[in-house]
Structure 1
Amino acid sequence: MSFRPLIPAALALAPLALASAPAVQAQAPAAEADLAAVQRHMAAIQTMTADFTQTDRAGKVLTGTLTLKRPGHVRFQYEKGVPLLIVGDGKALTFIDYQVKQVSRWPIGKSPLTFILDPAKDLSKVARVVESADPRLLLVQARDPGRPEFGTITLAFVRDTTGPAGLTLNGWTALDAQNNRTQIRLSNQRFNGPIDDQAFKWRDPRQGVRGR
């Protein structure tokens, strides 16, 4: 069985083209306050671990564990039997397909995940609050208006007094260049625990090439 069709657009392994996404616009005071809370939440996160569930447009579901260490370090470890791995080493995202022994890399700055991994990113310049039918849910759409080809990501936060700045990152949704939607849902989030840099090492499946 090939897993290549399941490459997650939401994990931003390639730049997303979404020319129709709206540019950042002036927000009402309440929305500005929510966006400021998101900024504080992200600034308060040095590390995070969570379980994730990934659902693509066709309804295919994969699960795994997420390990994040800012700036720029992330690991998406898929469930047993799925020969895929995604690792961010601070500069680039690396996608490893162990089934076909293929490795691909993209700069983190050219991925929507930069909005999560880069603590220096000013969300007030690249994001806007979007309407949610659930008052407990805060949705923020991030897109660099100067670089629309790098993609759009909609982050979902739950209003939670136990989370940093009263929020908990609950997941995100992204669209790829073919307008395919992929959703990531997080659970069992834990913040600011110790994470060794060895967590972001990986084995290179290419013959004669060492992992990193």
Structure 2
Amino acid sequence: MTLRPAFAVLISIAAAAPAIAQPSMIRRVQEHLRGVHTLTADFVQTDRKGKSVTGKVFLKQPGKIRFQYEPGVPILVVGDGRVLNFIDYQVHQVSKYPIGGSPLDILLDPKRDLSRIAKVVPSASPDVITILARDPRRPQFGSITLAFTQDSAAPGGLMLEGWVALDAQNNRTTVRLSNQKLNIPVAETVFEWDDPRPAKKRG
């Protein structure tokens, strides 16, 4: 599989490169995140062992996201505005985590002040902007490195190409986006899901 240029850069620097402050670029990223009210895209997700799965992601502000994986993958991830639900249909289990406790909080809460938690990571390509976000007061929530390319038609003149998330245990997940569509109608029903647990175990 050939990586798009933004991801060739992102994967090579996400874990180790020093961060530098570039307030004007941080403002552009903030403008982009606040200007994206909805997003749909195809994605490829790769875990720390190199295993990849594909799917479709839907985002709607504030705080809603859905990762719909390819057929045969019994996992669904849905953010309903309050929590992230990790649904495993194979074992009939649901795990819930506060959105604010996830690296995805950067995408799902565009009102956050990025200047307090984000730095620009040096990039080998002038067309690729990479932002490393980590809350120093809450290191247990991990970090996320976002990759953008220049796109004059998108909010802030940037297009999100994907991200690398590191959790507190240093587990790394890479998500590459393609076929991104911004600010198109996304129904509320997209963020509904069937609970696989017996009724008495729901809560």
Q: Normalising by structure 2, report the TM-score.
A: 0.87
2:192 is the counterpart of 1:206: no
Task: Decide whether the 8 Å contact of 1:72 with 1:88 is kept in 2.
Answer: yes
Give RMSD over aligned pairs. 2.2
* Farther-moved stretch of structure 1 (72-81 vs 176-185): 176-185
Matching of residues 7-22 of structure 1 within 5 Å: none
Cα offset, 1:210, TM superposition: 9.7
Question: Deviation per CA, 1:88-128, whole angstroms, max 9, x where unpaired?
Answer: 00000000000011100000011111100002111111100
The equivalent of 1:136 in structure 2 is 127
Q: Which runs of 5+ in 1 are unaligned?
A: 1-19
Please report the TM-score for the alignment, with normalisation by the length of structure 1: 0.83
Mark the CA change 1:211 to 1:66 in structure 2 (over 3 Å): closer, same or farther: farther
Residue 37 of structure 1 deviates from its aligned partner by: 0.6
User: 5+ residue gaps in structure 2?
Assistant: 1-14
- Residue correspondence of structure 1 range 32-181 to structure 2 within 5 A: 32-181=23-172
CA distance in 1, matches of 2:42, 2:152: 21
Distance 2:112 2:194 in 1: 30
Q: Is the 8 A contact 2:148 2:158 kept in 1?
A: yes
Paired amino acid for 1:167: L
Q: What's the offset of the Cα at 1:21?
A: 8.8
Q: 1:54 to 1:97 in 2, by over 3 A?
A: same
Distance 2:169 2:135 in 1: 19
What's 2:184 paired with? 193
CA distance in 1, matches of 2:104, 2:60: 13
CA contact (8 A) 2:37 2:61 kept: yes
Structure-1 separation of matches of 2:117 and 2:96 = 24
Deviations, residues 135-173 of structure 1 (Å, cap 9, x unaligned): 211000001111111110001111111221110010000
Identity score, percent = 54
How is 1:19-34 mapped onto 2 (pairs within 5 angstroms)? 27=21, 31-34=22-25
Q: Secondary structure at the match of 1:206?
A: coil
CA contact (8 A) 1:71 1:117 kept: yes
